[in-house]
Structure 1
Amino acid sequence: MAKDKRTIDDLTIWDDAKMMIRKAQKDGVETVWDRLEQQEPHCPFCEKGLTCKKCVMGPCRISSKKPRGVCGADADLTVARNFGRFVAAGAASHSDHGRDLVETLHAIGRGQTSDYEVRDQAKLKRIAQEIGVEAADKSIQELALAVAESMIQDFGFQHNHLGFLSRVPQKRKDLWKKLGITPRGIDRDIVEMMHRTHMGVDSDAVSLCLNSARLCLGDGWGGSMIGTEVSDIIFGTPTPRAGKVNLGVLKTDQINILVHGHSPIVSEMLLSAVNDPEIKKEVQAAGAGGINVAGLCCTGNEVLMRQGIPMAGNHLMTELAIITGAVELILVDYQCIMPSLVQVADCYHTRFVSTSDKARFTGAEHVEFNYTNARSQALKLVRMAIENYGRRNQARVDIPQGSVELMTGFSNEAILGALGGTPGPLIEAIKAGQVRGAVGIVGCNNPKLKHDYVHTTLAEELIKKDILVLVTGCATVAMGKAGLMMPASADKAGQGLKAVCQSLSIPPVLHVGSCVDNSRILHLCSVLANALGVDISDLPVAASAPEWYSEKAAAIGLYAVASGVYTHLGLPPNITGSETVTNLALGGLEELVGACFAVEPDPFKAAQLIDARISVKRKALGLGD
């Protein structure tokens, strides 16, 4: 039976998005929702994880009539293999992001770049101490080199364990050792999963799932955590500041440049170039009122957190931002960049430019960035945008009016700083029931779900229950547009959380960064657990990826669970074809690692599940409901 065609009101909750979808239809531009409709119905074998194409004896589809593939793999093994490779790709993506930052820090330490420097020297020293690097008698440059070289070792297997495992509560480390899932090396465990899932290697579904957890832990406590901390060292640790969000941040009288992707290496240099005195003269000569830089997705989160640069939108807003007709240049690095953006840009005057050799796009312009040429390339890109401003067709420009203010910049240092430098006041608020618990709402958008509906509704329901929300990635834009990231939104919270927020002048939804910065949430959980002398799984905390879509999000979810954090998903991963793997995810992991997944698309029901979990953990700690 054919599904009813969704109306524009069914696609998104936002007026600016609806306006641009209508404009896309008028302009004859295809969007992500159009392509989703073209792809339906989806293959049920693929949705359940029962398709295998890892060798050319197949491809195979596992069913009740054909229960084994050519090699003999059943449903459990096929699903476990597929999921292992799925999260391996996700962990590789975030960890490769971290590698790029380490390479830049290494270049700073070796004196190979003058474009980048260590902005947070105090954090460099703290991180050195945490990962066991001797800082005494070293200059900042020498220390940068030593820290980078130690982190480089984390990607291989020369160390016995990752440097940031020093942060993990001892009870959790003992559990990982018992289960054999202590991460050994970021790249090593990813590569081993690719080996394990080759035909004729690991053929036990539970073994594959446990090793999937190990490689994901290497992402959370390794690659992602390295990416977060080194970004802070090089570009500065975020502090609370004001920002703005939605398509209304684009300017009709200015040169609009969008930065998109995940890495701050390019975007931070672009911001420096925009403020060059010669560039300002060229902007004036072009007849523009200035240069307006706005962010998309996680690159946008990075510059929002550190610089207060406005956010134009999240994943499902990327095409719509170009459809305004007001964007001179969209500058991308890597991850979550839809190839369709090249075609959408071609429908307008927008120039689409890639910057990373590992992320090229057919039909796009490419301007290679590295630590030796970053400043000159950034200036080149800004000049491309200035030159393109004259090609804008003002008759095709339609920018939704108005933007929403938000508060950003809540690094762990900022959060603890607001509490006097220790987690003590937060712990006391949790004990008193003013803050009953905390939930990280993270991640992507999925066009299968109404855009940002689950994000915003879940957050509103949780803060009503005195549950503090930490937000990263594309969920940030949703919370910002919903007005939940300003101190005044404390009025929407329960009385306990409201009082805490008002006393600290903070919102009930705290922006902690991009998707690699979920490692900030892991670290904060470890700080609380260590202060209380308990395991992370004992804390009244949870995580949620309400509208997730990517391999990275699955890896994040699994490292959260393996770290002891109960994790809600709005949609299931492609594992439902295996009863063994599904039962392990939804319950069996609880017995092994003290946490599991829950799948629930309804935000009200999801809030009830999370609230019940927090109540159980509070009672176990003797804190009441």
Structure 2
Amino acid sequence: MSHTHSHEHEHEHHHHHGKNGLEHIHSHRNLIGFDEHGIPTVTLKASDHGGESSPEDFTKDYMSAVAEYRKTFPSKQDVIDNTPDPAVREMILRMEQIGIDTAFDRFDAQKPQCAFGLSGTCCKICNMGPCHITAKAQRGVCGADADLIVARNLLRSAASGAAQHGMHAREVMLTLKKVAEGELDIPILGEQKIRSTAEAFGIKQKNRQLKNVAKDLADALLEDMSRSVPDDYKTIKACALPERQKVWEDLDILPISAYHEVFEAYHKSGCATDGDWKSIMQQFLRCGLAFTFSGVVGAGIATDALFGVGDRVTSKVNIGALEKGYVNIAVHGHLPTLVSQIVAAGKRDDLIELAKSKGAKGIRFYGICCSGLSAMYRDSGVIPLSNAVSAELVLGTGALDLWVADVQDVFPSIMDVAKCFKTVVVTTSDSARLPGAERYEYDHHHSNIGQTKELAEKIVRRAIESFEIRKGMPVYIPPYEVEAEVGFSVEYVHKRFGSMKPLAEAIKSGQILGVVNMVGCNNPKVLYEKCIIDVADELLKNNVLIITNGCASFPLMKLGYCAVSGKEKAGESLREFLEPDLPPVWHVGECIDNTRSTGIFAGIAGVLGKNLYELPFAFSSPEWGNEKGIDAALGFRLNGISSYHCVEAPIFGSKNVIEFLKYGTKELLGSTMNVNTDPVALAKQIVQDMKDKRAALGWDK
């Protein structure tokens, strides 16, 4: 059945039964793999009986599949033997020698991971449990079956992800508003972004000062974040493709606001509230849209409005870029406002002279996770070192005087390593505290946001004090560093090529087979960073252009894929397109900069006059590991772009949810979720799916 055909059925359903979205889709069982008896046709590969099976048989099957899945999890020794970055390997061994645990030690200590947790069939929502679904006990105390339990757990993860990116977004939106109102004295650097976005939002600009337009834009973004009374979701109306808006409207998944959909997710999935797994999954899709358009698109708009889009720059990368003798400050997390002012303070002559008076050569900044990625191409000299999983390894060098921890992906374990090396850790948000850290925080009401510059100066001065106290501390820095090209964007593509047309034409002609957005966090369930590299190698040799951001981008930067010389890893025709000065992997920034990736996708689609789901595009988060990762993949699938992963979601226990999440979205949204623990096989599937899309378009190559 064609995508368009499915829409015709949706309209028919709405006419007779009212707007009830997914209920219609599931009334046509054949759309998502149900047989004539209403039994899901999906079976798990680990125990494929074919045809129908009883709930008891299926429970045994999925427990067997979980057991097989666990066997694919690597050990710490496997990581040491196979991780592609020699600096990571050396630092794991170094930490072992000095007796400090890492994430890899703790992962081994957790084995074997709970089968009920991996399958999603453990319910802890009420205090009558926890309940586990087994062959003997097919329902929880309240009567919830595996489908409902798995769906509720998945929805709660998606709601959490929407809340996490949403709180990041709220801070930058609130900052934009406070700057526009004069409460915070930092410059607004993204005038063009504000002007173009305000036009899309229908915000009046004629004869108005930039700050007033910026305030209205911030208010519109914040309204989408927190609206209680149903109305248009302005960011979706302004930024989503019309074809997609129609699809979402037909499915009745347009959100009221980010806050509302997270609120409703926990309401619906609460004890004895919504007992229909299909209804739960409909709310799952709404959370995906709220995550995408407030947590990602809204956050990206506010960040670029405040701090500018930035431009392509060359950056040093990896642990070898650390240098003794400087006041070394690492910024870790996701929030850009205070980080921008910390870096600005560290460039002040008076503070540099103070550092030198204490015996330092100067002040240097390093990035962990997204705080560093956001700053690296806007604030020169912020050197990206590692993603969240290997943050402990960076601290283990002993080279850092102060560690700034804001929010998200900051493991509590960094405190143990920091204490060993007398590294001062400071927290900057009331939302994210660490026992033993010093607090230089925005309060719960952000009432002290006007003191941002003062907080930043105090942090830099504290780093200088720490440098003086830490003199003589043993330092071990593995000698590995490279250069990477970072700061790609829609604006840069237009600057480099004049328009999107040359890139679009290269795709249509087959010079570029397709484009993959490779992102996401990391996960010790697969070989650390090797999954990402293996997928990238296979894609590049097949002439697939890669866009990257977030934690997954670190191995690509560290191992030369973001360098101009990295084009030698590409196939002949892609390499020819990249000449003379482009890398085969385009680094667009932090995790919210998925907005830049979708902007590039949409620009190409606009030139070619095609819908996103028709084109050879893909999303891949090979090592995804946190709740935001569920939403990130879902956001692309909602836009018709299939997702590809090497880590399974906790859904083994429900045939219905497996079928819905992985394959049912083919008819609903024009996209699928694909998982293969073998990264090379996963990449080959991406390539084949791209070739199939090209064939459907009549593009020979």
Q: Same fold (TM over 0.5)?
A: yes
Is 1:243–1:310's contact at 8 Å kept on the other side of the alignment?
Answer: yes
Secondary structure (helix, strand or coil) at the match of 2:166 reads helix
Equivalent residue for 2:427, pick from 340, 350, 354: 354
Q: Which residue number corresponds to residue 385 of structure 2?
A: 312
1:187 aligns with 2:263: no
CA contact (8 A) 2:317 2:484 kept: yes
Counterparts of 2:166 and 2:243, CA distance in 1: 25
CA shift, 1:572, in A, is 0.6
Aligned equivalent of 1:411: 489
CA-to-aligned-CA distance 1:6-26 (integer Å, 9 cap, x gap): 425246322111221222122
Residue 242 (structure 1) shift: 0.4
1:240 maps to which residue?
Answer: 312
**Which region of structure 1 is more displaced relative to structure 2, 329-338 or 262-271?**
262-271
Alignment partners' CA distance in 2, 1:220 and 1:558: 9
**Structure 2 counterparts to residues 216-227 of structure 1, below 5 A:** 216-227=288-299
Q: Secondary structure at the match of 2:104?
A: helix
Instruction: Could you tell me which runs of 5 or more consecutive residues in structure 1 were left unpaired when the two chains were aligned.
Output: none
Residue 358 of structure 2 corresponds to 286
Would the alpha carbon gap of residues 161 and 183 (structure 1) be closer, same or farther in structure 2, given more than 3 Å must change?
same
Q: Deviations over 1:261-311 (max 9, x none)?
A: 011112111110001121011111110111110000111111123234211
Which amino acid in the other structure matches residue 80 of structure 1? A
Q: 1:167 pairs with 239, 243, 247, which one?
A: 239
Q: Distance between the aligned counterparts of 1:603 and 1:372, measured in 2?
A: 48
1:321 aligns with 2:394: yes
Q: Please name the residue that 2:556 is paired with.
A: 479
Which stretches in structure 2 are left out of the alignment for 5+ residues? 1-66, 443-447
**Identity over aligned pairs, percent:** 34
User: Once structures 1 and 2 are overlaid, which stretch shifts more, 145-154 or 333-342?
Assistant: 145-154
Letter in 1 for 2:436: G
Quick one: which amino acid aligns to residue 533 of structure 2? T
- Residue 548 of structure 1 corresponds to which residue in structure 2? 624
Tell me the equivalent position of 2:672.
596
Q: Equivalences for 1:327-342 in 2 at 5 Å?
A: 327-342=400-415
1:20 aligned to 2:98? Answer: no
**Corresponding residue for 1:364?**
437
One of 366, 379, 396 as aligned partner of 2:474: 396
- Sort the Cα spacing of 1:416 and 1:385 in 2 relative to 1 into closer, same or farther, 3 A: same
Tell me how far 1:395 sits from its aligned partner: 5.4
Q: How is 1:530-549 mapped onto 2 (pairs within 5 angstroms)?
A: 530-549=606-625
Secondary structure class of the residue paired with 1:534: coil
The code of the aligned residue for 1:547 comes to E
Shift of 1:246: 0.8
CA distance in 2: counterparts of 1:409 and 1:122, whole angstroms: 17
Is the aligned partner of 1:465 residue 2:542?
yes
Please give the residue correspondences for 1:238-277 in structure 2 after superposition, counting only pairs within 5 Å.
238-277=310-349
Could you tell me which residue of structure 2 aligns to residue 90 of structure 1?
Answer: 161
CA contact (8 A) 2:76 2:105 kept: no
Given that 2:665 and 2:672 are in contact with CA atoms closer than 8 Å, whether structure 1 keeps it comes out as yes
2:602 matched residue in structure 1: 526
1:567 lines up with 2:635 in the alignment: no
Q: Which of 514, 519, 526 is 1:449 aligned to?
A: 526
Mapped to 2, the partners of 1:132 and 1:551 lie a distance apart of 34
- Could you tell me which residue of structure 2 aligns to residue 608 of structure 1? 684
Check 1:24–1:561 CA distance in 2 against 1; reply closer, same or farther (3 A cut).
Answer: same
Cα root mean square deviation, aligned: 1.6
Preserved CA contact (<8 Å) 1:299 1:514: yes
The aligned amino acid for 2:208 is K
Deviation digits for residues 171-204 of structure 1 (CA, Å, limit 9, x no counterpart): 2211111111123322111211111101222222
The code of the aligned residue for 1:524 comes to I
Query: What amino acid sits opposite 2:263 in the alignment?
Result: V
**Bigger shift: residues 87-96 or 527-536:** 527-536
Question: Match of 2:187, SS?
Answer: coil
Please tell me whether the aligned partners of residues 167 and 523 of structure 1 are also in contact (alpha carbons under 8 angstroms): no
Distance in 2 of aligned mates of 1:473 and 1:131: 28
Find the counterpart in structure 1 of residue 131 from structure 2: 60
1:49 maps to 2:127: no
Residue 203 of structure 2: aligned partner? 133
Number of matched pairs = 622
What is the aligned counterpart of 1:154 among 221, 224, 232? 224
Contact 2:87 2:480 in 1 (8 A): no
**What secondary structure, in the 3-state scheme, does the structure 2 residue paired with 1:474 have?**
coil
Q: What whole-Å deviation, never above 9, does each CA across 1:523-567 have from its counterpart, x for those lacking one? A: 322333333333211111001011110000111011111111110
Q: Residue by residue, what CA displacement relative to the aligned partner does 1:226-282 show, whole Å, maximum 9, x if unpaired?
A: 111211111111211000111111111111110000111121111100011210111
Asked if 1:580 is matched to 2:656, the reply is: yes
Contact kept, 8 Å, 2:564 with 2:583, in 1: the verdict is yes
**Greater CA drift, 304-313 or 513-522:** 304-313
What SS does structure 1 have at the residue aligned with 2:364? strand
Q: Map Cα deviations across residues 393-445 of structure 1 (whole Å, 9 max, x no partner).
A: 5452111124110000002211232120x221111111111111100100111
Distance 1:5 1:248 in 2: 26
Amino acid at match of 1:433: G
Instruction: Tell me if structure 2 keeps the 8 A contact 1:168–1:526.
Output: no
Deviation at 1:165, TM superposition (A): 3.4
Q: Quick one: structure 1 residues 395 and 277, their matched pair in 2 at CA, closer, same or farther if it must change by over 3 Å? A: closer
Deviation of 1:146 (Å): 1.0
In structure 2, distance between residues paired with 1:532 and 1:166: 21
Of 267-276 and 78-87, the range deviating more from structure 2: 267-276
Aligned equivalent of 2:192: 122
3-state SS of paired residue (1:396)? coil
Question: TM-score normalized by structure 1?
Answer: 0.97
Among candidates 271, 278, 281, match of residue 206 of structure 1: 278
Q: What is the CA–CA distance in structure 2 between the aligned matches of 1:587 and 1:129, rounded to whole Å?
A: 38
Give, in whole Å, the separation in 2 of the partners of 1:73 and 1:267: 46
C-alpha distance in structure 2 between counterparts of 1:449 and 1:210, whole Å: 30
**Equivalent in the alignment of 2:455:** 377
C-alpha contact 2:75 2:104 (8 A) present in aligned 1: no
- Call closer, same or farther: CA 1:501–1:537 in 2, change over 3 Å: same
Higher mean C-alpha displacement, 226-235 vs 308-317: 308-317
Q: Report deviation, 1:446.
A: 0.9
Counterpart residue number, 1:144: 214
Aligned to 1:32: 103
